[in-house]
Amino acid sequence: MQYIFNIFMTLLEGAKTASILFIVVILLSLPLGFLFTLMARSSIAPIRWFANAYIYILRGTPLLLQLIFIFFGVPYLPVIGKYLVFERFTAALIGFVLNYAAYFAEIFRGGLLAVDKGQYEAAKVLGMSRFKTTVFVILPQMIRVALPSVTNEAVSLVKDTSLLYAVAVPEIIHYATGIVNRDFNVTAFAVAAAIYLVMNTLLSFLFKKLEKKLEY
């Protein structure tokens, strides 16, 4: 029991890193994703092309490759490379935010399609500007439609934090592997699994609550 508790305390250190990554990524990639959604619907063609190409590339290639590229690859780029040398954690953070923004952009696009055309018309005849219509009429309805898919992505993100391992930022699996190698005992892996499960259970519970709140 004491052994498991010790493992747990060590892995908690990794969980802390994973949690910080999770929170920052969620806070940054949701608004960035929505920005890409709006760009993909822009009436200006180059903006639309850029947003669609971005979404296409980021969703079509592995996150692992993107992380490795940003940390190890980008500094080798000609001219700009030397200005883009990041710390491990920062590099990972950038990669996660850029990648998840692409997924959220697609989710929000679906959410927008689900908002009835009549809502835009009603807001228009009531004299609301396009900006106010987007913020106060469309966005709240889009969020409600998109929320279950956002929850799904958030659960994936919790698990994806393990990819920090690839750029050698110590996280849950890093510590667990260390313990297993040291003690020739796999208990640490089981504890790691339990920590992920607890984090996701908590997360699902919170999102369910939010869903209830936004119900209409």
State phi, psi for 10 to the nearest 5 degrees.
Answer: -65, -45
- The DSSP annotation for 151-198 comes to HHHHHHHHHHGGGGGGGT---HHHHHHHHHHHHT-THHHHHHHHHHHH
Is the Cβ of residue 78 or residue 127 nearer to another protein in the bound state? 127
Return the range that interacts with another protein (CB under 8 A); candidates 10-18, 33-41, 50-58, 136-144: 136-144
Position 12 contacts another protein (CB under 8 A)? no
Is the Cβ of residue 60 or residue 118 nearer to another protein in the bound state? 118
Q: Which of 4, 20, 126, 202 binds another protein (CB under 8 A)?
A: 126
Q: Which of 113, 116, 184, 213 binds another protein (CB under 8 A)?
A: 116
- Its sign, for the CA torsion 104, 34, 107, 46, is negative
Position 154 contacts another protein (CB under 8 A)? no
State phi, psi for 41 to the nearest 5 degrees.
Answer: -105, 5
Q: Which of 4, 20, 57, 214 binds another protein (CB under 8 A)?
A: 214
Position 144 contacts another protein (CB under 8 A)? yes
154-178 CB burial, b ≥16 within 10 A, e <16 = bbebbebbbbbbbbebebbbbbbee
Position 125 contacts another protein (CB under 8 A)? yes
Burial of 69 (0-12, 13-18, 19+ CB in 10 A): middle
Nearest distance, CB of residue 94 and another protein, angstroms: 34
Query: What number of chain residues touch another protein (CB under 8 A)?
Result: 20
Where on the chain is the footprint of another protein (CB under 8 A)? 116, 118-119, 121-129, 132, 136-137, 140-141, 144, 214, 216
